[in-house]
A and B are shown apart, each in its own frame.
Chain A
């Protein structure tokens, strides 16, 4: 009875999708004939996976976090200006970024839980505020530069025994996913799911609903900061670096079969959703489909995934319904 299910509900389909995409990639591009191609994919996908894990916490507890994209942009721009190319500044700036992330999460979470503004609106407001602030501060063109040591996390590799060279971002990704899985199996993680399902029940059981939701927003913003650090190193400094990432993260989470509105879904599935999305974009790229189509593809995916979830839930219910409760 202590055994846990190997896969949480709804993880299966997205893993199948991911597997198919990875196999197709191998046929489509010579780069994927070797493991290094996939490692590069993983490296590219790392920021999105990290963001998706953060978004997962918020969605599963019944909210949305639309502010992560502009938070990424803001942090990259701030980092470039503060580091200003000097290695001596790297570590305190990274600490500062993570701190700012926590702060933004706290603000999102407190306004949602204490002022009872729906998170969709709160984080949309935060998106606009951060966007405006970045524009005001940078004048549209970010100044300064990142130091080489700052960029290591995004583009460098570490020497790992047995495996050889592994990109730092992949290591970060694995650590984030493993910690997130562990967290969601803990009592607090299970409570987070229960809050998304029926917060009344948790409150009446003596649980602190507000704290749990606050935690979700803080985790989301904190992970957005991690993603910002990875992206800054990987993609460089621009005022557009985080554009649209919030929707991409939401698409990834939904693709992972996580229920909008909360209460159901697994971290692994959300991460797999992000990876699938990235793999799909790589595939489209290989097939010569214009990059401009990416957002259209994303739009179709998000609608299709939610439709499938609604339909799929109905199907599952029919298949597993017990003896109807005839009253």
Chain B
């Protein structure tokens, strides 16, 4: 590969791809408003912006999924137009999505050559596929993967490698990675870093889309910021700091995002005493009425397992749980709901909403499912419920799948408010929600706490967790690693969560 290395700040770096003045509207609503982006060979270019800023749409334009309404796509000094993703691939542009496009039961080599299998004497040439796959893996320095293993047996991180090799084998020169760390465990992120750097060193242009400032600053040489579909800035990473980037993204100072904290928490609503099961152990903590207690921890530290245990999906097997001072055994979601525990799960579409049903039916779902008689039939307060969570829908009869992420999440909250829980657990409540709706959700959660609810909030976004919580409980390897007061800084939380560095 004859590649001229583009270094940040160099006079005339080689732009492999240039997007100029890209505009795109859906049904008259502009999603991209004149966005410029150029990708150089051998650079990691970070693309950041809040949800709804247009990152995905821009990626889809780059990948040939959407045709821009205006603007030019220039590949190696030649204007092109992509009618389909196939055309983009032919120009060497491949998107690595969060969800992999691998066939689990085929081998690594078979996946790499899927649909373009080399043929020898009328049969698929397995040997050639495996040799070429081996060569690409070696080129990337990934010698831990065998071309002949079936993909199902690989870790998520290695599947990602296979996905990349698949792109490379099709002569990709530009890799756009959409939130590549979203599916990775924390120890795998380092491996990805290594991989991204090797790809860069080998002259591949990498567009790195991520929410996580740390990754953006660790990896990228330039950063492009989008806001509300418009290009805000593009600057060398060295000239920016995280605070500036966030300000560009949000367009306002961050503090305003979070409501005021609780002044005086009330009585203990839920108390765990030495509670544990297969996944978590020896949990002892209280949450009071009026409090928002954050539950922090790395992925796999048992954060969500605590929630699922309290809620009875995987109940505690040891210790006790008291609700308002009364020892309670929760054996399943049904008892949990009836005892006044609500759980906004992480997986909104899989566990939170019946997507083809109406806003109305989803809002009344918990009440109908868990209550009896007149209470289950009660629906006169629907308007008040929807109003209190400020759902924006065409009508209560609109199917929830047509709502935006933020409005869907509000419906999920409304569903729980309909049964007035005493304890509400929210797991990643703002995932996939744009910044305006985030703020509304934060306010709403705080109002609920002020009305006497005890709220346990789980989030992997530390700023949000710190901004919202009155106290932070940090989990490590299935147990509580410590408790921090409101306003603890990220380093302290991470130190406790990882067990490294100076603990607070």
Which residues of the other chain, B, contact A206 by a CB distance below 8 angstroms? 333-334, 336-338, 366, 369-370
Does A327 sit at the interface, judged by CB under 8 A?
A: yes
Residues of A within 8 A of B405 (CB): 325, 327
Q: B57 contacts which chain A residues (CB < 8 A)? A: 324, 326
List A80-111 residues whose CB lies under 8 Å from chain B. Answer: none
Residue of chain B at shortest CB distance from A199: B354
Q: How many inter-chain contacts with C-beta < 8 Å in the A-B complex? A: 116
- Which of the residues B345, B353, B357, B380 comes within 8 Å of A193, measured between beta carbons? B357
In the assembled complex, the Cα of A159 lies from the Cα of B391 at a distance in Å of: 53
* Distance of A184 from chain B, by nearest CB (Å): 11
Residue from B29, B354, B370 having most chain A Cβ neighbours under 10 A: B354
Bound-complex Cα distance A294 to B405 (A): 48
By the criterion CB–CB under 8 Å, are B352 and A201 in contact?
yes
Q: How far is the CA of A193 from the CA of B399 in the complex (A)?
A: 13
Q: Using Cβ atoms and an 8 Å threshold, which residues of chain B touch A208?
A: 334, 369
Decide yes or no whether B482 CB sits under 8 A from chain A.
no
Tell me the A177-236 residues at the B interface (CB within 8 Å).
186-188, 190-191, 193-194, 197-198, 200-208
Contact B368 A327 (CB under 8 A): no
Chain B interface residue count, Cβ-Cβ cutoff 8 angstroms:
51
- Would you give the shortest CB distance from B335 to chain A, in whole angstroms? 8
A194 touches B357 (CB 8 A): yes
Question: Are B27 and A197 in touch, CB under 8 angstroms?
Answer: no
Q: How far is the CA of A187 from the CA of B370 in the complex (A)?
A: 11
A163 within 8 A of B: no
Q: Which of B351, B361, B397 contacts A200 (CB 8 A)?
A: B351
Chain B CB count within 10 A is highest, among A190, A203, A204, A325, for: A204
Q: Is A296 an interface residue (CB 8 A)?
A: no
Q: Is B227 an interface residue (CB 8 A)?
A: no
- From A5, A186, A187, A326, B53 is in contact (CB under 8 Å) with A326
User: Which of chain A's residues 59-81 have a Cβ closer than 8 Å to chain B?
Assistant: none
Task: Say yes or no: A5 contacts B56, CB within 8 Å.
Answer: no
A202 engages B369 (CB within 8 Å): yes
Task: Answer whether residue A320 sits at the interface, using C-beta atoms and an 8 A cutoff.
Answer: yes
How far apart are A295's CB and chain B's nearest CB, in angstroms? 31
A322, B337: Cα distance in complex, Å: 33
Is B396 close to A, CB under 8 A? yes
Q: Does A54 contact B (CB under 8 A)?
A: no
B42 at the interface (CB under 8 A from A): no
Task: Assess whether B383 is interfacial by the CB under 8 Å rule.
Answer: yes
Is B354 a contact partner of A322 (Cβ separation < 8 A)? no
CB neighbours (8 Å) of A264 from chain B are 356
How far is the CB of B292 from the nearest CB of chain A, in Å? 22
Tell whether, in the assembled complex, residue A323 and residue B26 are in contact, meaning their CB atoms are under 8 Å apart. Answer: yes
Nearest-Cβ distance from residue B2 to partner chain A, whole angstroms: 36
Which residues of chain B have C-beta atoms less than 8 A from A324's C-beta? 26, 31, 57
Please measure, in the bound complex, the distance between the C-alpha atom of A321 and the C-alpha atom of B402, giving whole angstroms. 6
Q: Are A204 and B364 in contact (CB under 8 A)?
A: no
**Complex Cα gap A207–B356 (Å):** 18
Give the distance to chain A from B387, nearest Cβ to Cβ, in Å: 10
Q: How far is the CA of A288 from the CA of B118 in the complex (A)?
A: 58
CA distance A133 to B229 in the complex (A): 68
Q: Is A197 touching B336 in the complex (CB atoms < 8 A)? A: no
Instruction: State the CA gap A194–B351 with chains docked (Å).
Output: 12
Chain A residues closer than 8 Å to B432, beta-carbon distance: 325, 327
A23 lies within 8 A of chain B by Cβ: no
- B357-A190 in contact (CB<8A): yes
A290 to chain B, nearest CB (A): 40
- Chain B 404-439 against A: per-residue CB contact (8 Å), 1 yes, 0 no? 110000000001000000000000000010000000
Q: B475 at the A/B interface (Cβ < 8 Å)?
A: no
| A195–B33 CA distance with the chains assembled, in angstroms | 42
- CB within 8 Å for A326 and B333 given contacts A187-B368, A194-B361, A207-B370: no
Q: Whole-angstrom distance from the CB of B257 to the nearest CB of chain A?
A: 19
Closest Cβ of chain A to B56, distance in Å, is 5
> CA separation between A191 and B356, bound complex, in Å?
12
Question: Out of A202, A203, A263, A320, which one reaches B356, CB within 8 Å?
Answer: A263
> Is there an interface contact between A190 and B26, defined as CB atoms closer than 8 Å?
no
Q: How far is the CB of B233 from chain A (nearest CB, A)?
A: 19
B353-384 CB mask vs A (1 if < 8 Å, else 0) is: 11111000110111011100000110110110
**Cα–Cα, bound, A201→B368 (Å):** 12
Residue of B51, B351, B379 near A327 (CB, 8 A) is B51
Are A190 and B368 in contact, with the CB atoms below 8 A? yes
* A1 interface residue per 8 A CB criterion: yes
Interchain CA distance A189-B160 in the complex, whole Å: 44
> Contact between B353 and A201 (Cβ–Cβ < 8 Å)?
yes
Q: Digitize A41-61: 1 where CB-to-B-CB distance is under 8 Å, 0 elsewhere.
A: 000000000000000000000
Instruction: Give the distance in Å from the alpha carbon of A208 to the alpha carbon of B355 in the complex.
Output: 19
A-B contact pairs, 20 of them (CB 8 A): A2-B380, A191-B368, A191-B369, A193-B354, A198-B353, A198-B354, A198-B355, A200-B351, A201-B352, A205-B369, A205-B370, A206-B336, A206-B370, A263-B354, A263-B356, A263-B357, A323-B31, A324-B26, A325-B51, A327-B56
Nearest first, the 9 A-B pairs at minimum CB distance are A207-B369, A206-B370, A206-B337, A187-B368, A197-B354, A206-B334, A205-B369, A194-B354, A205-B366
Given A321-B27, A326-B31, 10 other A-B contacts at CB below 8 A? A191-B365, A194-B354, A197-B356, A197-B357, A198-B353, A205-B333, A205-B366, A206-B337, A325-B404, A326-B57
